[in-house]
Amino acid sequence: MIEAAITPEKRLKRVQRHIEQMPSLSTTVTRVLEICDSPTTSPNDLNRVISLDPVLVGQVLRLINSAYYSMPEQVTSLTRAIIMLGLNTVKNLALSTAVLERLVGKTPFQALSMNDFWTHSICVGVTAKAIATIKRVPLTEREEYFVAGLLHDLGKIPLNDRFPEEYVQVLESAKPGQRPLHQAENMIFGIDHCVVGRMIAEKWRLSETMIDSLGCHHNPDEAEEETRPLVEIVALANAYANTFAIGSSGDLFPEKPMVTSLLERVGVSWSTFSDLRETVLDEIEQAKIFLRITQKGQAHEH
């Protein structure tokens, strides 16, 4: 039954409690994130931390030996795998693994297909990375755009989990032509998934970039100046997934003025933007390999 009398403050408290009870990131993952954010880190530093976590060792080796990289011969040395993948990719593998482990499949959506939700999230990740490539973002930083896009909608998960019936209402009132989903959330809950996403990112002590990506992708102006270029690209990638209906996380409202403004800010033309389709669909398949590897106990990729 939908609770009509519950106040936004009470809802916020309930969501805060839910997030407080979520498991923290493991010590290994926290150390990996810290080490990779230090400018003086070497592959050996990372090797020392990862080698203490057999599951992560397995994932790193599975990734380098997967169809995603098509290596001519099996790589068996962890240090070599770290050097070949690069610190950023290993960091993002560790982060994606940790997040998906804690959230995926724990609470199926009542009104949204979990499969559509993750297809949308992967699409935003690969589109953000494709736009970063067009903008000549250095190769080592592009994976960050993928992960920021992949995780941007995490705030929807606790809202759906705590208030499943009301979330059905939110999705109804965000039907095409009515209003964007985050506005529908604010109308019904008094908070939206950006607020909740920021709370999750802060609990897990993610980087400022990730915090702003989760918290500001519907209002990039609210992002810090140094993180804003990435947040604008994630916002544009989100608009891409919604405009071309690749997967769905419930947002069916095409915010045309927002798309026009983001294209201008990011410096990408509409034709370049709409021509991304083939790259994006191909990359989604590649990313699914990457993400399957992050799931424990998966069979090796061939």
Query: From residue 135, how far is each of 229, 233, 257 by CA, in Å?
Result: 10, 10, 22
pLDDT of residue 130: 94
pLDDT of residue 300: 35
The answer to whether 24 and 99 are in contact (CB under 8 A) is no
- What the block records as the tokens of 165 is 């019936």
The radius of gyration of the chain's CA atoms, rounded to the nearest angstrom, is 19
pLDDT of residue 38: 83
Backbone angles phi, psi at 228, to 5 degrees: -60, -40
Domains of the chain: 8-23+108-294 (1.10.3210.10)
C-beta neighbour count of 32 within 10 angstroms? 26
Q: Please name which of 92, 138, 131 lies closest in space to residue 238, comparing C-alpha atoms.
A: 131
pLDDT of residue 68: 76
pLDDT of residue 254: 67
C-beta neighbour count of 139 within 10 angstroms? 11
> Which residue positions in the chain have pLDDT lower than 70?
1-5, 104-111, 176-177, 253-254, 293-302
pLDDT of residue 108: 64
> What's the CA gap between 166 and 160, in Å, rounded?
8
pLDDT of residue 208: 93
